[in-house]
């Protein structure tokens, strides 16, 4: 839930979700439509689909217990290297590093200096992060590094004078202004996708969310004619409703029935 979603939006939803689905067996045993409904307000609805699939895999292949082995975790739906490392560090307190964007930036500045232009590649940064990890403190260390990157060692306006590790930082001698200048120049030069340049209400993601919200509000199994959905969501100009629904069906979010569309 916390991936690309603010904590304040997650807190209430998390409590409700855990109350409804306290274990993998319960989550695996319900219809996907119920899980998608419970995900309302969190966005990135494919995470709900993958979580439901993950629960089914855990029940079927691991007797309902989430494995702690990195390879077994990464074999589960929706779990890549970062999520596997985060689960190991936070849930199992195993010495692993969950290298997200913030943590990668902090480690690069700390060990290698200005990150733009980069002085180290992803492999070297990951290796440096593992060297920095204090044995037996994975939970605390990952949390602290993520917080440092989110609040002090930020991309656009770092607060070096407030940083508790500035005396050991390779980038700090360049000064806050130079660190900020190189980061801002890099961000300005990055090409954004056409969708990312649109106002949110004109994006495909917004349209998909509106379709799901309309379907979520109905009783389980209710089928809605496509024309009714198009009228309710006010499809922006330039979009094909059928193309969007086709994508949602491929993603396992909805199903086409003879009479229309319903949650899967």
Say if residue 244's pLDDT is above 80: yes
**pLDDT tens readout for residues 133-153:** 999 999 999 999 999 999 999
The confidence score (pLDDT) of residue 231 equals 87
pLDDT tier for residue 2 given thresholds of 50, 70 and 90: confident
The confidence score (pLDDT) of residue 73 equals 97
Number of CB atoms found within 10 A of residue 98's CB: 22
**pLDDT tens readout for residues 233-242:** 888 888 899 9
**Averaged pLDDT for residues 68-83:** 95
Please choose, from the candidates 207, 218, 219, the residue with its C-alpha nearest in 3D space to the C-alpha of residue 245: 207
**Averaged pLDDT for residues 67-94:** 96
Say if residue 197's pLDDT is above 90: no
Say if residue 84's pLDDT is above 90: yes
**Averaged pLDDT for residues 27-32:** 96
Say if residue 254's pLDDT is above 80: yes
CA–chain centroid gap for 40, Å, is 15
Q: Of residues 5 and 220, which shows the higher confidence score?
A: 5
Number of CB atoms found within 10 A of residue 90's CB: 15
Q: N- to C-terminal Cα distance for the chain?
A: 20
What is the distance between the alpha carbons of residues 202 and 254, in angstroms, rounded to a whole number?
21
The interaxial angle of helices 241-250 and 204-216, nearest 10 deg, is 70
The confidence score (pLDDT) of residue 65 equals 97
Please choose, from the candidates 242, 244, 235, 251, the residue with its C-alpha nearest in 3D space to the C-alpha of residue 208: 244
Domains of the chain: 7-66 (1.10.340.30), 101-189 (1.10.1670.10), 200-263 (1.10.10.10)
Mean pLDDT (the chain, rounded): 92
What is the distance between the alpha carbons of residues 98 and 106, in angstroms, rounded to a whole number?
13
Return all residues near 173 (Cβ < 8 A) that are at least 6 apart: none
The confidence score (pLDDT) of residue 236 equals 83
**pLDDT tens readout for residues 88-136:** 999 999 999 999 989 999 999 999 999 999 999 999 999 999 999 999 9
Say if residue 171's pLDDT is above 90: yes
The confidence score (pLDDT) of residue 188 equals 79
Alpha helices in 63-167 (DSSP H): 70-74, 81-86, 101-107, 122-132, 138-151
Q: Which phi and psi angles does 178 have, rounded to 5°?
A: -70, -40
For the chain, what percent of residues have pLDDT higher than 90?
Answer: 75
What is the distance between the alpha carbons of residues 2 and 43, in angstroms, rounded to a whole number?
11
The confidence score (pLDDT) of residue 112 equals 97
The confidence score (pLDDT) of residue 119 equals 94
């Amino acid at each position: 839930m916390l991936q690309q979603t603010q904590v304040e939006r997650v807190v209430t939803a998390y409590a409700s979700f855990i109350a409804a689905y306290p274990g993998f067996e319960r989550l695996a045993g319900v219809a996907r439509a119920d899980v998608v409904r419970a995900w309302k307000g969190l966005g990135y609805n494919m995470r709900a689909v993958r979580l439901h699939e993950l629960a089914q895999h855990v029940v079927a292949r691991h007797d309902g217990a989430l494995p702690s082995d990195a390879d077994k975790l990464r074999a589960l739906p929706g779990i890549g290297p970062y999520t596997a490392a985060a689960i190991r560090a936070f849930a199992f307190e195993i010495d692993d590093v969950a290298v997200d964007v913030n943590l990668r930036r902090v480690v690069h500045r700390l060990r290698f200096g200005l990150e733009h232009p980069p002085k180290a590649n992803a492999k070297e940064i990951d290796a440096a992060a593992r060297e920095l990890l204090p044995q037996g403190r994975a939970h605390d260390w990952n949390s602290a590094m993520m917080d440092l990157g989110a609040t002090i060692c930020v991309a656009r306006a770092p607060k070096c004078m407030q940083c508790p590790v500035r005396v050991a930082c390779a980038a700090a001698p360049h000064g806050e202004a130079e660190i900020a200048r190189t980061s801002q120049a890099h961000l300005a030069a990055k090409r954004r996708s056409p969708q990312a340049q649109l106002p949110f209400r004109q994006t495909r993601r917004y349209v998909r969310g509106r379709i799901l919200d309309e379907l979520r509000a109905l009783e389980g199994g209710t089928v809605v004619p496509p024309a009714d959905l198009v009228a309710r969501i006010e499809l922006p100009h330039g979009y094909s409703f059928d193309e969007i629904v086709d994508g949602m069906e491929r993603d396992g979010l909805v199903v086409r029935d003879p009479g229309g569309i319903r949650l899967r």
